[in-house]
């Protein structure tokens, strides 16, 4: 199973805490993590093995969206900060749309992510 993890700057600490809370599930050999640049760096510092793409504003969201379209992502966890403006909003919208088009589960907050992780 390939899980994409992405988080806006204001949500990175929350993402790392989420990963730590579910480390036992995520550490399974059958699960691999792919992340946008800065989120991936923080996840690595927390002890996770992560394949990184570019940071979101530099095209990382689009790279993950392409992997969704290619059928290479099984779940997306994207902790979005709805109170901030993001210059790469078109890439974010594209990623969310492609998750819907390809029927890929998408969690945009910890409560939904917890339900999806527990279902693995």
Q: Cite the active site residues.
A: 61
* Cβ atoms within 10 Å, residue 100: 10
- Cβ(28)–Cβ(9) under 8 Å? no
Please report the beta strands in the chain, taking only residues with DSSP state E, as ranges in sequence order.
Answer: 2-7, 32-35, 50-52, 75-79, 106-107
Quote the Cα angle for 62-26-82, to 5°. Answer: 45
**Could you write out the DSSP letters of every residue in 14-30?**
HHHHHHHHTHHHHTSTT
């Amino acid at each position: 199973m390939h899980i994409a993890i992405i988080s806006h700057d204001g949500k990175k600490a929350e993402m790392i805490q989420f990963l730590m809370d579910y480390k036992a599930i995520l550490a399974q050999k059958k699960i691999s993590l792919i992340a946008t640049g800065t989120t991936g760096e923080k996840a690595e510092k927390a002890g996770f093995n992560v394949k990184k793409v570019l940071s979101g504003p530099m095209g990382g969201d689009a790279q993950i969206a392409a992997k969704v379209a290619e059928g290479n992502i099984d779940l997306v966890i994207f902790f979005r900060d709805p109170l901030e403006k993001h210059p790469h909003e078109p890439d974010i919208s594209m990623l969310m749309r492609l998750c819907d088009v390809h029927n890929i589960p998408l969690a945009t907050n910890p409560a939904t992510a917890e339900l999806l992780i527990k279902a693995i």
